[in-house]
Structure 1
Amino acid sequence: ITCEPEVGKMSTLEEHLEGIVNIFHQHSAHVGDFDTLSKSELRKLITRDLANTIKVGNTQDQATIDRIFQDLDDNKDGEVNFREFLLLIASVLETTHKNLHRDPALPDGSEN
């Protein structure tokens, strides 16, 4: 799939997609390669931009950040590239989607 920007107003989805790219680069530009996240950059991204979404363990805890980083760093180069970062975004979106379908009236929060 190739994406060619068109002149004109972006759709809401396109704006949100561009926002994801911008958030990635806001964090990736500080240490090393502009197109990868170091562990410290990933920690800042999670604690600042996903703190209300990622509730596995304590995101302030280094062991939790280490585990998330290790899970994302698919090619084991010590950095998280954009493609690897998208795995985190996909996981967060999947969980968010599931949570939106939960029925709060049911005791176990089961899906509708």
Structure 2
Amino acid sequence: MGRISQSMMSLIEVFNEYAKAEGTVKTLTKKEVKTLFEEEIPSYLMGGKNQEEVDKLIQDLDEDGDSEVNFSEFMILISKLTCTFYKML
């Protein structure tokens, strides 16, 4: 399997791992998003991000208005963060 394929599978696995913690397994709740950030991308929260900022991020990403983040919305977030990290290199 190529590196990009491995990366895609890893993103799917991470999403599924955190999504199953509470609620539906197809979406991330606000709490699950915050836990994911704390454990998987702590550098994002090191910048002083608090629950209000996480709530705002979810609201901005939440295209269907259900107050949760589905996989497509999650991938938009990952894409934006990846572009931000790339610019910092």
TM-score normalised to structure 1 length: 0.73
Uncovered stretches (5+) of structure 1, i.e. residues with no partner: 1-9, 101-112
Q: Tell me the distance in 1 between the aligned counterparts of 2:57 and 2:38.
A: 12
Q: Identify which of 66, 80, 85 aligns with 1:77.
A: 66
Q: Tell me how many residue pairs correspond in the alignment.
A: 89
User: What's the CA shift for 1:58?
Assistant: 2.1
Q: Tell me the distance in 2 between the aligned counterparts of 1:26 and 1:11.
A: 22
1:97 matches 2:86: yes
Q: Identify which of 20, 37, 50 aligns with 2:11.
A: 20
Q: Identify which of 23, 30, 33 aligns with 1:39.
A: 30
Which entry has the higher C-alpha Rg, 1 or 2?
1
RMSD: 1.5
Bigger mean CA offset, 69-78 vs 18-27: 69-78
Uncovered stretches (5+) of structure 2, i.e. residues with no partner: none
User: What's the CA shift for 1:82?
Assistant: 0.2
Q: Tell me the distance in 2 between the aligned counterparts of 1:39 and 1:47.
A: 12
**Structure 1: 4+ residue segments shifted above 6 A:** none
Indicate the structure whose relative CO is greater, using CA pairs within 8 Å and at least 6 residues apart.
Answer: 2
Amino acid at match of 2:13: N
TM-score normalised to structure 2 length: 0.90
